[in-house]
Amino acid sequence: MSTDSPLSTSVPQGQNPDTSPRQPDWTTEMPRWTWKAVAILCVGFLITLSTRFVFDRLTGLLLLLLVSMFLALAIEPGVNRLSVRGWRRGTSTILILLGLLLFAIVFVVAIASLVGGQVADILNDAPRTITKVVGFLNRHFNSDIKAQKVIDSVQDPNGKFQTFIKSQRGKAVQVSVAALGALLQLFSVLLFSFYLVAHGPRMRRSICSRMRPERQQRVLDVWELAIGKTGSYLYSRAILAAVSTVFHLILFQALGTRAPVAMALWIGLITQLLPVVGTYIGGALPILLAVVDSPAKALVMLSFIILYKQVENYILRPRITARTMELHPAFAFGSTLAGAAVLGPVGAIFALPAAAMAQAVVSAWGVRHEVIDVPLTRLSHPTARSRRAERNKPGAKETEDSA
């Protein structure tokens, strides 16, 4: 009788029972594709590092090209109009760019001279200015600040204020170098914009020569749409800025504000460059400069700026942008925040034309259908007066009776 258990296994003859079964080849030998994977990983890592290094070095150039592209889109409609009238594209492009450059120089010089003059006046007449500011704070905020104590701390040679003034004198060279760098970047932008506009047809022919005819038409349609909508959007903003400048100039002239032209230009441009909050940011500078001389003038300025913003939103803007394209305030504000987060102040300024161009391209994409009329899609609901007028129409009562 066999004594083996049911779980015991029989060992074939000629095989050592202590020998373990042979392992598969893939557990003892490295697969052939391993070296290829390691090589691809190393090459990809080196390419990534090289791309990042090159991108970091070319960030400034890419930013200049981006600014030049939007500037070219903005001025190309004007260049096309002059070209239709017989002007050469190069001549018309130079003329428009020189006009923009002259306007920018005048604006910057006016604002810089105003701010510099105000700072110089404050430093030259510091005791009188401090006394006036302290008196204003004590009267309106129930504070008890000693004007002479503040004057002594400001005029103390070893005090923080005088130490800060002395420390800033040695930075004149740095400011000069930064100004030269900004001037070089400005001329680089103008040069790139000139070539993008003056040689625009030649560049588009070169790009379209690589495509099939049906693809060429599609690309050119999108290109033309982007140029038209972006240019018209910027031109409508320029008109709104001009109107705002005129109205605020009249106000500042009536109030006797210092440098009224510079202050009006500042509010007009900042209002249109920064959506939603641009009005209040632009109005902060003239209000702060006026509050020292006359708080009543500052209050009048604040009231006028708020009132003008409402008039612009509900009367001027719908009429001026009726034939162009208007961005939704939330979309414009979000685009500005995104542009500032990515590219800083330059991104905040050029986020609006970028959003306008994107909206133009998206709006022309696909097929649109008629929207059904339900309460969720109605732009306005009938009021009690409109319903009453509808019922009082001739024939309305007869229709109800027949029904």
**Residue 353: which of 183, 229, 190 has the closest Cα?**
229
Q: What is the pLDDT of residue 223?
A: 82
Q: At what angle do helices 126-141 and 89-124 cross, to 10 degrees?
A: 80
Query: Any residues with CB less than 8 A from the CB of 329 and at least 6 apart, and which?
Result: 275, 276
Ranges 18-32, 70-84, 176-190, most confident: 70-84
Q: What is the spatial distance between Cα 103 and Cα 241, in angstroms, rounded to a whole number?
A: 13
Q: What is the spatial distance between Cα 32 and Cα 51, in angstroms, rounded to a whole number?
A: 30
pLDDT grade for 394, boundaries at 50, 70 and 90: low
3-state secondary structure the chain: CCCCCCCCCCCCCCCCCCCCCCCCHHHCCCCCHHHHHHHHHHHHHHHHHHHHHHHHHCHHHHHHHHHHHHHHHHHHHHHHHHHHCCCCHHHHHHHHHHHHHHHHHHHHHHHHHHHHHHHHHHHHCHHHHHHHHHHHHHHHHCCCCCHHHHHHHHHCCCCHHHHHHHHHHCCHHHHHHHHHHHHHHHHHHHHHHHHHHHCHHHHHHHHHCCCCHHHHHHHHHHHHHHHHHHHHHHHHHHHHHHHHHHHHHHHHHHHCCCCHHHHHHHHHHHHHHCCCCHHHHHHHHHHHHHHHHCHHHHHHHHHHHHHHHHHHHHHHHHHHCCCCCCCCHHHHHHHHHHHHHHHCHHHHHHHHHHHHHHHHHHHCCCCCCCCCCCHHHCCCCCCHHHHHHHHCCCCHHHHHHHC
Q: How many CB atoms lie within 10 A of CB 300?
A: 16
In angstroms, the Cα distances linking 60 to 74, 125, 181, 337, 340 are 21, 43, 12, 20, 16
Structure-token pair, residue 290 = 């006026």
Taking CA 386 as the corner, what is the angle to CA 383 and CA 389, rounded to the nearest 5 degrees?
Answer: 150
Structure-token pair, residue 164 = 């800060």
Residue 5 has pLDDT above 50, yes or no: no
- Give the pLDDT confidence of 201-253 residue by residue, as tens digits: 888 888 888 888 888 888 888 888 778 777 777 778 888 888 888 898 899 88
More confident position, 294 or 86? 86
Of 29-43, 137-151, 352-366, give the lowest mean pLDDT range: 352-366
More confident position, 161 or 150? 150
More confident position, 252 or 110? 252
Q: What is the pLDDT of residue 2?
A: 47
Across residues 182-206, what is the average pLDDT? 88
Task: Give pairs for 218-226: CB < 8 Å, separation 24+.
Answer: 221/364, 222/361, 222/364, 225/360, 225/361, 225/364, 226/73, 226/357, 226/360, 226/361
Percent with pLDDT over 90 in the chain: 6
More confident position, 180 or 210? 210
Of 1-5, 291-295, 319-323, give the lowest mean pLDDT range: 1-5
Q: What is the pLDDT of residue 98?
A: 92
Q: What is the pLDDT of residue 104?
A: 81
Of 12-16, 139-143, 174-178, 304-308, give the lowest mean pLDDT range: 12-16
Residue 24 has pLDDT above 60, yes or no: no
More confident position, 251 or 273? 251
pLDDT grade for 13, boundaries at 50, 70 and 90: low
Q: What is the pLDDT of residue 321?
A: 67
More confident position, 167 or 106? 106
Residue 6 has pLDDT above 60, yes or no: no
Contact 156, 162 (CB under 8 A): yes
pLDDT grade for 386, boundaries at 50, 70 and 90: low
CA–chain centroid gap for 59, Å, is 18
Of 19-33, 173-187, 283-297, give the lowest mean pLDDT range: 19-33
- Give the pLDDT confidence of 113-145 residue by residue, as tens digits: 766 676 666 667 677 777 777 777 777 777 778
pLDDT grade for 94, boundaries at 50, 70 and 90: very high
Q: What is the pLDDT of residue 115?
A: 65
Q: What is the dihedral of CA 214, 218, 219, 222, to 10 degrees?
A: 170
More confident position, 68 or 127? 68
Residue 16 has pLDDT above 70, yes or no: no
The domains of the chain are located at 57-147+181-210, 213-364
Ranges 17-31, 135-149, 184-198, most confident: 184-198
The reported pTM is 0.62
Q: What is the pLDDT of residue 47?
A: 93
Ranges 36-50, 60-74, 315-329, most confident: 36-50
